[in-house]
Chain A
Amino acid sequence: MSEMAATPVPLPAKRRGAQLLMLALAVGIVMFAYANVGLAMDGKVPAGMLTYGLGLGGFMLAAYLVLAKWAPWADPLILPLVTLVNGIGLVMIYRIEASKAPGASATNQLIMTGVGVVLFAITLIVLRDQRALQRLTYTAGFVGLFLLISPLIPGLGKSVNGSRIWIGFGPATIQPAELAKIALVVFFAGYLVAKRDVLALAGRRLLFIDLPRARDLGPVLITWAVSLGVLVLQKDLGSSLLLFGTFIAMLYIATQRTSWVLIGILLFVGGAFLAGQLFDHVQARFEVWLDPSRQEFFDRELGGSAQLMQGLFAMGAGGILGTGLGEGHPYLIPLSFSDFIFPATGEELGLTGLMALLMVYALIVERGLRTSLAARDPFTKLLAGGLSFLLAWQVFIIVGGVTNLIPLTGLVTPFMSQGGSALLANWILIALLVRTSDAARQPPPQAIQNEGLTQVFQR
């Protein structure tokens, strides 16, 4: 057996080098983009290039070091991909700020990115084993629900632009729904691991679909009611769609029953239809979606189609190759630095650039789902699957919204839009994905002797 000791077991590659290289490439691309914006707008490389570029590079290097120390087996691609979208978002906000659009602030966004990286590091260092979250199933559920309804508490909640989704402490405001969605994914994962057998196996079969038992429908109905409540009381269509879609997807991952997806879609369509009949602002969204170019809607003061149409015009002006960074007119789109950053980017980078960005998002999601496949225990599987679906679904909702594929709902584009709470929440989400991928890719414990019942564990 001494032969065995001489040739150690081949370990799967950590690919730290590839990760560092990709990270450097991502930061390089972002600095290139800064230079491009400056050259196009003022004819010279902007002074901010080094500050912003090196700032971003420094944050990412810190994130990399934390990852290399505390999650050495983590997927090598997640961090560079996120760096790229975050950086392109920073450049776009910088560019929109330079065109004197009110509200855009690249410095704020850079600071928030820094705070996001700190939260990423804290999550990785504190949470050494993602299975610890399984013990917090119901705690996470309550925290999530509380965060979701906290804007409705008088004195704490604030109403901005007709949506009551903010809570404020003095000057600082946060959007608790962004954090709530992560807590709820943890809750769904923990809950479904415990209950999925009942959900999958008990019930009757009727015409090709398995009907679940009435009492098993409880959690689905509660989530449905909560998400509709959010929609009605806070006028936040985006979060409600996000929440319900994620729950249905996780239910499907857990039980592998198509019937749940059908029931979910029926419930949501029914609910949305009902809400459209009962509430003006929902109905307005539907009208605008069906015919955005009608003059009457375009001129409407609140909930009109002007913003959507400006976004569509911008993407049309961009065409295949775009106008070039710094050469478009993103300030024409209201809120082009937050909800509508995607069309603003589309104008300057064109279809080619948007496709590249969507590919980057797709790759992040692919890494997440891959982690979910490779995970060795059901909770981790569901958690990773749920988190990646959450990210994918969020990109779909907002990109579908601004391209008028689905009714527009106010959601941020993950990592790109200006907005502290969403950025911080998404960095925590990425930390959880990195933690699960570290656990999933870690080689199984090595035996001391060949008689392998006594094993060494990494703690």
Chain B
Amino acid sequence: MSELTLLLIRLAFLAVLWFFVIAAVGVIRTDLFGSRTAAAGPRKSAKPTKPAAKPKSKKGEPRQLVVTGGPLQGTTINLTETPITIGRANDATLVVSDDYASSRHARLFPQDGQWIVEDLGSTNGTYLDRSKVTRPTPVPLGVPIRVGKTVIELRK
């Protein structure tokens, strides 16, 4: 085996090793550069039955629920058409272990392109910005919702 061949094999091996690393980074680039807008596809075709609400809701429609405060800070949940429940119960979408939260504390659900927050009869209440949520209330983008010590908000 000649020196030159071995040199070429050596360089090729290092190149392949780095190719693997770069390929791996390629697989997770969604983590690094934000989520691909896969969710946007189905959303565009959604709800032709409600044309009135459509133009307004399409623009500022939230895609993510972000926990901005409390022990779960940093958690994000991608919003689909599914309602999101928040509470201490194990079957909640966002499980908070917090003495100030109830088992089934609040839920968020989409309606006519808007997300609505509803308190599920919690002991300590759910707050939208500064005001207590007493009946289902629409949630604007970027306004904090407080459940116990956890703060969440909707983002695009």
Contact = CB atoms under 8 A, between A and B. Distances in A.
Interface of A: 3-4, 7, 9-13, 15, 18, 22, 25-26, 29, 32-33, 36, 39-40, 43, 76-77, 80-81, 84, 131, 193, 196-197, 254, 321-322, 324-325, 327, 349-350, 352-353, 356-357, 359-360, 363, 366-367, 370, 373-379, 381, 443-447, 450, 452, 455, 457
Nearest to A2: B49
A160 to B, nearest CB: 34
Interface string B72-88: 10111110111110000
Contact of B81 (A9, A197, A357, A377): A9
Interface in B1-60: 1, 5-7, 9-11, 13-14, 16-18, 20-21, 23-25, 27-28, 31, 38-39, 41-42, 45-49
Nearest to B73: A256
A22 B27 contact: yes
A349 B10 CA distance: 8
Contacts of B83: 447, 452
B31 A324 contact: no
B91 interface: yes
Contacts, number: 144
Given A452-B83, A457-B91, A29 B10 contact: no
A29 B9 contact: no
Nearest to A28: B16
Contact of B27 (A18, A350, A444, A450): A18
A443 B80 contact: yes
Q: Do most interface residues of chain B lie in helix, strand or loop, or is the interface mixed?
A: mixed
Given A76-B27, A325-B13, A376-B93, A43 B75 contact: no
A52 B27 CA distance: 27
B97 A378 contact: yes
A444 B84 contact: yes
Interface of B: 1, 5-7, 9-11, 13-14, 16-18, 20-21, 23-25, 27-28, 31, 38-39, 41-42, 45-49, 71-72, 74-78, 80-84, 90-91, 93-97, 99, 107, 109
A202 B74 CA distance: 24
Given A9-B80, A9-B81, A373-B75, A360 B14 contact: no
Nearest to A129: B90
Given A7-B45, A443-B80, A356 B10 contact: no
Nearest to B45: A7
A32 B71 CA distance: 46
Contacts of B107: 452
Given A7-B46, A29-B20, A81-B24, A321 B77 contact: no
19 contacts: A3-B48, A7-B45, A9-B80, A10-B41, A12-B38, A13-B38, A22-B24, A22-B27, A29-B13, A29-B17, A196-B71, A324-B7, A325-B10, A325-B13, A352-B14, A370-B31, A373-B74, A444-B82, A457-B91
